[in-house]
Structure 1
Amino acid sequence: MRGPAFYLVFLIFAGTIWPAGAAELLMLEQPGCPWCARFNEEIAPAYAKTQEGRRAPLRRVDITDAWPPDLDFIQRERFTPTFVLVEDGRELGRIRGYPGDEFFWYLLGDLIAKLDETVRE
């Protein structure tokens, strides 16, 4: 059995890894989307292992399915893929389309920087 000090240290440590109001990177996609397939080949396998992926885990949303109720604050898209960075029930930015692996990481870096700005506010 662990004492209260262990749990306090665990909670403090966990808070540095998963801050309150954790961010998500939504991927709005649809079946048959060739650019979604390209993203799935070039980025998706490694995404969760990257610093960006740990900071804003990828959540896939099929735009042909019913819209998730917890995403009512997000403007819907017809263009796929669209990547939407959200945190604490608000949208911080989006990337429309998949511009290829190098440019995607660059644009994503700009979005992730917005998470740092919200921490300072």
Structure 2
Amino acid sequence: MLRVLSRPFRPLRPALAAAALLAWAGPALADLQLYMFDRPGCPYCLQWEREVGPAYPNTAEGRAAPLVHLDIRDPLPPDLTVASQPQFTPTFVLAEDGVELSRITGYPGEAFFWGLLGQMIAEATAVEEGATE
């Protein structure tokens, strides 16, 4: 019975794990940023802004990796190094100290976004924990 009740929450597990790690690691993640490459009129960007944007800064993920909007057509900021120039909008690049760690290309919906971002932050946290041990 308990197993059946937990199935609807399965997509949230990575985000919940990331939230627990963020609560524990807190200040260690202060150098993370989430860069959102978008463009005016992008329907998936607008969908993200409606579904996720208002809540993002108030979440554990938003506190760990504050959001920076960048127009995909503009040159990269000099303090940001990415593995490759984003080609599609939206593209979310998780960076530490201005260096790309991972990315999400596109917006597959709110549940997938939170799950993928939670995994990315958890992996960044695991790397940092391994470096400090």
Q: Quick one: distance in 1 between partners of 2:60 and 2:100? A: 20
Q: Which runs of 5+ in 2 are unaligned?
A: 1-24
Q: Does 1:59 align with 2:68?
A: yes
Q: Highest Rg: 1 or 2?
A: 1
Question: Structure 1 residue runs of 4+, over 6 Å off?
Answer: none
1:29 is matched with 38
Identity, % of aligned positions: 49
C-alpha distance in structure 2 between counterparts of 1:115 and 1:65, whole Å = 27
Tell me, in whole angstroms, the C-alpha distance in 2 between the residues paired with 1:113 and 1:20.
Answer: 10
Q: What's the TM-score once normalised by structure 1's chain length?
A: 0.79
Structure 1 equivalent of residue 89 of structure 2? 80
- Give the 3 Å change call, closer, same or farther, for CA 32–87 of structure 1 in structure 2: same
Whose relative contact order is higher, 1 or 2, with alpha carbons under 8 Å and at least 6 apart?
2
Q: Counterpart of 2:114 in structure 1: which amino acid? A: W
TM-score (norm 2): 0.73
CA distance in 2, matches of 1:98, 1:23: 20
In 2, are the aligned partners of 1:25 and 1:59 still within 8 Å (CA)?
yes
Give the RMSD, CA atoms, in angstroms. Answer: 1.6
Query: Which one-letter code corresponds to 2:44 in the other structure?
Result: W
How many residues align structurally?
105
Deviations 1:48-100 (A, max 9, x none): 000000000011110122321112x2121120001010002321110010010
Distance 1:107 1:18 in 2: 22
Unpaired runs of 5+ residues, structure 1, are: 1-15
Residue 111 in structure 1 maps to residue 123 in structure 2? no
Q: What's the CA shift for 1:27?
A: 0.4
Query: For residues 6-38 of structure 1, what are the alpha-carbon distances to aligned partners after superposition, in whole Å with 9 as ceiling and x for unaligned?
Result: xxxxxxxxxx75447610011011111100000
Residue 110 of structure 2 aligns with which residue? 101
